[in-house]
Amino acid sequence: MRSGSGTGPIGSSRSARREAPSSGQGGGGTFTSVPTTTSHFTRYSATRRRGAAALLAGASLLLPLATAAPALAAPAPGPAASKSPGADAKGKPPIQPPAHMSTVGGELLGKPGTQVQLGPGAPDLPKELSGNSWIVADAESGDVLAAHNAHWKLPPASTLKMLFADTVLPKFPKDKEHKVAPADLEGMGEGSSQVGIKEGSTYSVHDMWLGVFLKSGNDAVHVLSAMNGGASQTVQDMQAHADALQARDTHVITPDGYDAEGQVSSAYDLTLFARSGLQKADFREYCATATAQFPAEEKKGKKRETFAIQNTNRLLTGQGVPAYKGMAGVKNGFTTNAGNTFTGVAQHDGRKLLVTVMNPQSNEGYDVYKESARLLDWGFEAAGHVKPVGVLVPPEGGTDKPGADGGQGGGAGAQASAAGGGDDGMWTAVGITAGALVALAAAGFVVHRRHPLPELVRRRPKE
């Protein structure tokens, strides 16, 4: 996947900036020992916090899957239907969404245009939304608060790495080491983003996952795929997992999300992948890590060095734009065909929201992040004042299998909460829960608390 072009949250530069494909990107270290950074952040409701502040990362998010039926009451006054974004700067009209799309999660989600059911006291949706497709949902209940072409099948870019991680991450212990063979790095697309893995050098699984999440490293994806039996086997595993999650819009061709004919997903499916992945402790920790040290190439007779890497999720790090208050991941991406894509999760006052935006058309600098932040701001204000237009469905059978030992997994009903989140912007990780037992007759989950997560404090980088 080509390195994601950023688009920032509210208050970021409006000058159009798209990153060129880059290589040699790095990351590393265990989550508990990762050097971290602090950044400025925006308040929800579009207010900004000025000055530097310490921010505990929201790596404690653990999100249960909803089992309730979609809320599809007749709209009053009715779901708003929006027109597709206008012609671009070159006068070329955008492609149109299909007239009929998948209805997984609810009938309204299968309709083109914007779907929202505003109740008393609900704010209007932001006007500055140009994404071809987007969705904002309650991460715990699964209620879809609003959506726009939610099931439109579009190229996913590196956001597909969420499915890759959710599929492959539980298979290998994080301390397992692998010496990279030349064949491990074959098949990467031209201009792929890379973390800097070198043939003949040895890396831990932990190092490679940091490379996947922080720098969207296709080299790390290909090495992990090789360990999993090869790219072809990994694609099969990812497709099977997508099918099990009821992600019917997704067709996997490459494990890294690099442009390939026929490879598509949707805002709805990407949100399912994030929600499933966030139930795994290691997934949460990796995607919430701001900065890390990654091992450099091994050289005979010399001490191995490391180099710094930073997460390309600008709403998490605040790189170039203010970070979003309560942001805890998940993944951004960019390719020529996909444009900018982003899925994020954030918490405010105990409420956790997921947002996905695909291919904004505004040509505004950092547009995918700005539009994601606007939707999160709206969602936190609108929650409790809108009628859901659909629901994020649970996996087939109603539950995920328990995750691997060693803190890598969590049941489908696993949940974590974060205390704090007041005006000081501080989060305290209070714990994760797992071992969910499915009460099939009641279509509900029983959740049990487990051990607290380590704190991840992001300090302001020295200038």
Query: Known catalytic residues?
Result: 158, 161, 216
Give yes or no for a cis peptide into 360 (omega within 30° of 0). no
Residue entry with tokens 């091992």:
295
Please, are residues 265 and 253 in contact by the beta-carbon 8 Å criterion?
no
Please, are residues 425 and 49 in contact by the beta-carbon 8 Å criterion?
yes
Measure the CA–CA gap between 342 and 324, rounded to whole angstroms: 14
Please, are residues 266 and 274 in contact by the beta-carbon 8 Å criterion?
no
Beta-carbon contacts of 229 under 8 Å, excluding residues fewer than 6 positions away, are none
56-78 as b/e, with b when 16 or more CB fall inside 10 Å? bbbbbbbbbbbbeebbbeeeeee
Measure the CA–CA gap between 350 and 56, rounded to whole angstroms: 15
Total count of residues recorded for the chain: 463
Measure the CA–CA gap between 150 and 266, rounded to whole angstroms: 7
Rounded to 10 degrees, what is the CA torsion of 280, 284, 286, 288? 180
Q: Is 236 helix (H, G, I), strand (E, B) or coil?
A: helix
195-200 contacts at long range (C-beta below 8 A, 24 or more positions apart): 195/24, 195/25, 195/26, 195/27, 195/219, 195/220, 195/294, 195/309, 196/23, 196/24, 196/25, 196/26, 196/294, 196/296, 196/307, 197/223, 198/297, 198/298, 200/298
Please, are residues 36 and 459 in contact by the beta-carbon 8 Å criterion?
yes
Measure the CA–CA gap between 313 and 328, rounded to whole angstroms: 10
DSSP bridge pairs for 390: 144
Task: Show the DSSP H helices in 121-217 as ranges.
Answer: 161-168, 205-215
Query: Which class for 342: exposed (0-12), middle (13-18), buried (19 or more C-beta within 10 A)?
Result: buried
Measure the CA–CA gap between 390 and 136, rounded to whole angstroms: 11
